[in-house]
A = this chain, B = another copy of it.
Amino acid sequence: MSQPEYAELPAVDTHPHGNAADGSGIDEIRGIPDATVARLPVYLQALGTFAATDTETVSSEDLAELAGVGAAKLRKDLSYLGSYGTRGVGYSVARLVTQISETLGLTLDWRVVIVGMGHLGRALAGYSGFVTRGFSVVGMFDVDESVVGRRVGGQTVRDAAELEAGIGETSAQLALLAVPADAAQGLADRLVASGIHGILNFAPCVLQIPAHVQLRRVDLATELQILAFHAGRREAADLLAGKVSS
């Protein structure tokens, strides 16, 4: 399949050596269920809305509504982080933000490199959600001569040949891999060899990576196919319910 550049993301996920956390080892040091971890960022986002309107406390009911989950599920999720709600009142918005951020490790400074500066790579570079969450882009790489040397978002795109050097200099921990599928595995190997801790793979392929390196897939085609499946079911149901055309 294709080559291009990019795509998307997940959610549900499964573990397919890509997303999802399987129950592999260390994740259980403190037992926060994977499904819960996957929802924490959403809660954080919803909390941002409340914070913006200077709301000081929220009930599980209200927060859950905004996050699109059930109230009971939200409470259970929060209870895993050692909850700090007040009975009869609700949760302190500020406190929850702190709590979730710390749990996710967002209070650390994460250094990220972007590999592949096509449209997707540039979209990622310009993504503002980064900075506000403790992620900073410390390097951008591409193989294309016409892209190397350009300034993007205040930084210069470097030649992919300097990848190892760049990661070494900056001690980057995470990498966003936004290159064509046929180049992905090779670059992933180099990232791993350079000591990267986690890779977010946007290329439409499955990477083989040692278990000690975290890997997540974000693939547009996959998401679109899943969406189409569900939309298709609906379409079929409509047909049946509406006019019974054979």
Chain A residues with a Cβ under 8 A of chain B? 1-21, 26-27, 29, 34-35, 37-42, 44-46, 48, 66-69, 103-106, 108, 110, 112, 118-120, 122-124, 126-130, 132-133, 135, 173-174, 176, 197-200, 202, 204-206, 208, 212, 214, 216-237
Q: Which of B7, B16, B17, B222 contacts A233 (CB 8 A)?
A: B7
Q: Which of B29, B46, B229 contacts A8 (CB 8 A)?
A: B229
Asked if B174 contacts A224 (CB within 8 A), the reply is: yes
Known: A2-B129, A127-B220, A197-B235. A27 touches B230 (CB 8 A): yes
How far does the Cβ of A191 sit from chain B's closest Cβ, in whole Å? 13
Closest to A199 in B: B227
Cα A128 to Cα B228 with chains together (Å): 17
Cα A188 to Cα B129 with chains together (Å): 21
Interface centre among A16, A67, A105 (most CB of B within 10 A): A16
Cα A45 to Cα B236 with chains together (Å): 26
How far does the Cβ of A171 sit from chain B's closest Cβ, in whole Å? 12
18 A-B contact pairs sorted by A residue (CB < 8 Å): A1-B132, A4-B129, A6-B124, A9-B218, A11-B19, A12-B14, A16-B39, A16-B68, A17-B69, A37-B230, A38-B226, A40-B225, A45-B206, A46-B206, A104-B232, A127-B221, A129-B221, A214-B231
Asked if A221 contacts B8 (CB within 8 A), the reply is: no
Across-interface contacts of A206 in B (CB, < 8 A): 42, 45-46, 66-68
Asked if B214 contacts A15 (CB within 8 A), the reply is: no
